[in-house]
């Protein structure tokens, strides 16, 4: 059994308890009797202390040259490399994903560190001709201020890195509020940031409950920006609150992603993509493949292939080397997934395989749900429209490519999408007509790379993108600068030629 970890808040360069002294516990989802960590149940007073520290540090951190700020982030990347296996083991135990995926989670943080560090020498602005003689015009990026980073449990290292690293390189200070299910992962990550030598107050960590700590951060008058990843329902509150208080806000929310398989597809390749997309991370990804849109000519054959592959998937604790499908994060989410099975039956869908909580042998000691295929699904069903966030995929039959695109787009979300076809004309038409922030051709709906923008349309987001150079647009403001060296008053847009 793993040693019980004691997590604390990190404020102004010090590890401290919550003001009230109250604590919470995180559990191993594969063995719910095992407490992985204790952590503070912080309140608004703790948030206020973190904001005060971040505000104070901002005044000097923003003046550190960007290449020098980036050197700290590069060191974070080096430390993440050194501690990769330790972090992966912790992720697997506290969050539940298989070790291979947990290592990928940490690797995303490493990749983000090195990529973001490079941006310290590429915070490019623009120069442009002035309409006046002897006048110079340019644009520069300016930091925004104190950034609240509210992150989920499914990628407890990668997502905080996606937010914190570009924010810091841009000259902001940050306060991380991690999910209640993964406090130990967040603590270890911030220990690494601290070990990289970042000045006190530049990076802060406040544990607690979303309705208490998260809400206090979003509403705090001295927080300038909120970057939130989570449900669309919570994101709506965050967006509305930030709108009223004039905060910059970046929202990354839900998805109801679809993979289209056309009659000319490489079915073996499409099968690999469908299984990985639907059941990777136990379906607990915003980019998970929750809908499979299948052309009628290959529907029966592909369904049989998918059934066979799904029936052989091995469930277990993520830290067991043979595990392919780990546990659901907690009991609440496990029951939510199970409730959708009742909804599926009521709506007339057919459960081909799975559809129930796994309770054989050691699986009954954790939050396990059998990988599930729903057949006879129509686009109007709730299981085809609502995010389940579990190892469940719905099969929808279509008669044509045009029908497939129309059904793929018939959703409130628009994060990731996929189509398998050998027809280049269809591929390019899909790239043009699919309403999503990400489109894969002959690849699954999951698998982002840190140098490309990440985000979606409709209720998936609010127009911003994470990762890539687009992250700089989240964490900086543009300033236009004019330098007039004519020695005279020159009035723009005044017609003095008549």
Q: Using an 8 Å Cβ cutoff, are 21 and 43 in contact?
A: no
Q: What are phi and psi of 148, to 5 degrees?
A: -95, 125
Of the candidates 147, 170, 185, 286, the residue annotated as catalytic is 286
Residue in 94, 108, 252, 466 annotated catalytic? 252
Taking each helix axis from N to C end, the angle separating 158-169 and 66-82, rounded to the nearest 10 degrees, works out to 160
Please give the helix or strand (H or E) that residue 297 lies within, else none. helix 296-311
Provide the CA 243 distance to its chain's centre, in angstroms.
Answer: 22
Pairing of strands 416-420, 350-353: unpaired
286: annotated active-site residue: yes
Read off the tokens for 38.
């204790």
Q: Half-sphere exposure of residue 338, counting CA atoms within 13 Å on the CB side?
A: 13
Spatial CA neighbour of 247 closest among 386, 382, 317, 144: 144
Residue 491, classified by CB atoms within 10 Å of its CB into exposed (0-12), middle (13-18) or buried (19+), is: exposed
Q: Do strands 257-261 and 289-295 pair parallel, antiparallel, or not at all (unpaired)?
A: parallel
Does 161 qualify as catalytic in the annotation? no
Catalytic residues: 252, 286
């Amino acid at each position: 059994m793993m040693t019980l970890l004691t997590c604390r808040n990190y404020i102004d360069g010090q590890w401290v308890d919550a003001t009230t002294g109250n604590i919470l516990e995180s559990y191993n989802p594969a063995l719910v009797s095992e407490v992985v960590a204790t952590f503070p149940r912080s309140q608004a007073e703790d948030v206020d202390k973190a904001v005060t520290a971040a505000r104070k540090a901002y005044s000097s951190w923003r003046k550190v040259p960007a290449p020098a700020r980036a050197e700290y982030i590069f060191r974070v990347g080096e430390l993440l490399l050194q501690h990769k296996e330790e972090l992966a083991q912790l992720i697997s135990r506290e969050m539940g994903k298989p070790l291979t995926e947990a290592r990928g989670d940490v690797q995303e943080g490493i990749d983000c560190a090195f990529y973001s560090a490079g941006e310290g020498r590429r915070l490019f602005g623009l120069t442009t001709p002035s309409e006046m003689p002897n006048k110079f015009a340019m644009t520069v990026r300016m930091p925004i201020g104190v950034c609240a980073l509210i992150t989920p449990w499914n990628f407890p290292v990668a997502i905080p890195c996606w937010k914190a690293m570009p924010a810091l390189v841009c000259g902001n200070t940050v306060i991380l509020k991690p999910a209640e299910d993964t406090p130990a992962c967040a603590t270890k990550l911030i220990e690494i940031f601290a070990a990289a030598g970042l000045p006190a107050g530049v990076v802060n960590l406040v544990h607690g409950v979303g309705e208490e700590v998260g809400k206090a951060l979003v509403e705090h008058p001295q927080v300038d920006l909120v970057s939130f990843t989570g449900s669309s329902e919570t994101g709506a509150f965050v967006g509305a609150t930030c709108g009223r208080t004039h905060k910059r806000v970046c929202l990354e929310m839900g998805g109801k992603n679809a993979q289209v398989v056309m009659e000319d597809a490489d079915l073996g390749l499409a099968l690999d993509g469908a299984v990985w997309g639907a059941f990777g991370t136990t379906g607990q990804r915003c980019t998970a493949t929750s809908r499979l849109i299948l052309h009628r000519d290959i529907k029966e054959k592909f369904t049989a292939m998918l059934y066979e592959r799904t029936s052989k998937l091995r469930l277990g604790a993520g830290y067991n080397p043979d595990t392919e499908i780990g546990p659901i994060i907690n009991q609440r989410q496990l029951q939510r997934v199970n409730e959708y099975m009742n909804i599926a039956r009521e709506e007339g869908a057919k459960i081909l395989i799975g559809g129930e909580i796994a309770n054989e042998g050691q699986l009954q000691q954790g939050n396990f749900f059998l990988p599930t295929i729903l057949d006879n699904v129509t686009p109007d069903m709730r299981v085809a429209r609502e995010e389940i966030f579990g190892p469940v995929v719905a099969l929808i039959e279509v008669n044509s490519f045009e029908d497939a695109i129309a059904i793929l787009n018939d959703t409130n979300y628009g994060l990731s999408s996929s189509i398998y076809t050998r027809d280049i004309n269809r591929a390019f038409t899909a790239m043009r007509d699919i309403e999503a922030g990400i489109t894969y051709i002959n690849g699954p709906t999951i698998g982002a790379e840190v140098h490309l923008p990440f985000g979606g349309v409709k209720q998936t987001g609010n127009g911003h993108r994470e990762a890539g150079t687009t992250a700089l647009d989240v964490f900086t403001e543009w300033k236009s600068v004019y330098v007039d060296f004519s020695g005279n008053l020159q009035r723009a847009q005044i017609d003095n030629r008549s």
